[in-house]
A and B are shown apart, each in its own frame.
Chain A
């Protein structure tokens, strides 16, 4: 994991999540903006997957459990996909909120992943 990239990604997920939850509660159906924000979170997660695979080859290894790291990463990758699919099937305001919930969940998981990679915990 590259630390600054993880923090950037975390910021995008938090901002995107807040945007979607806010717009959803305001009654907006999923739009290009909210779907786009979720898609951006997803693309960054895929980039993170590449980084996680390549980084150990350059000596940047995880300090914690790799198994735990990858379970988080794979779960995180699934979330925006599931929420996005949901938003395509059901065009309601709640789908927008769900996009946001998925992004915010990804943010929490990214934080845990960063902890696992950088600070050896349990």
Chain B
């Protein structure tokens, strides 16, 4: 990945770090208060890490992994974001996706869209040539 795609990787990396840190605090510090929300936080963190790794690596398998994880993120932020507004009682404790990622400046909402745009613009087809840069 070259050019502005590097920036995408960097922002994904930061979000992965943020989500991991937060879910670490939640699970170590107060897991019993909201097991569902905090398990979801941990799952989200893992998915962000996988997405970051998939964006860094080349090849068809990683390309597909990137699509899957980024789609999962978009669904996550839309579904949890909507649920957290419609029925706040379901998610009394914040997750990275609550209220469409408000706690993270709405970056979790914007990032999957940018990621999909990037993947669509730079498809990986066939065997990846060793030297070419997209």
Contact = CB atoms under 8 A, between A and B. Distances in A.
Interface of A: 65, 67-68, 71-72, 75, 78-79, 82-83, 86, 90, 92, 94-95, 97-98, 101-102, 105, 108, 122
B71 to A, nearest CB: 24
A82 B13 contact: yes
A75 B21 contact: yes
Nearest to B103: A112
B29 A68 contact: yes
7 contacts: A67-B29, A71-B24, A75-B21, A86-B10, A92-B6, A94-B4, A105-B18
B37 to A, nearest CB: 12
B3 A94 contact: yes
A71 B21 contact: yes
A78 B17 contact: yes
A110 to B, nearest CB: 13
Interface string B61-105: 000000000000000000000000000000001100000000001
B17 A79 contact: yes
Contact of A79 (B14, B22, B29): B14
A68 B82 CA distance: 27
A122 B25 CA distance: 13
Interface of B: 3-4, 6-7, 10-11, 13-14, 17-18, 21-22, 24-25, 28-29, 93-94, 105
Contacts of A71: 21-22, 24-25
A101 B21 contact: no
A67 B14 contact: no
A94 B17 contact: no
A5 to B, nearest CB: 22
A83 B10 CA distance: 8
A71 B17 CA distance: 10
A122 B26 CA distance: 11
Contacts of B28: 67
Contact of A98 (B7, B18, B22, B25): B7
Nearest to B94: A122
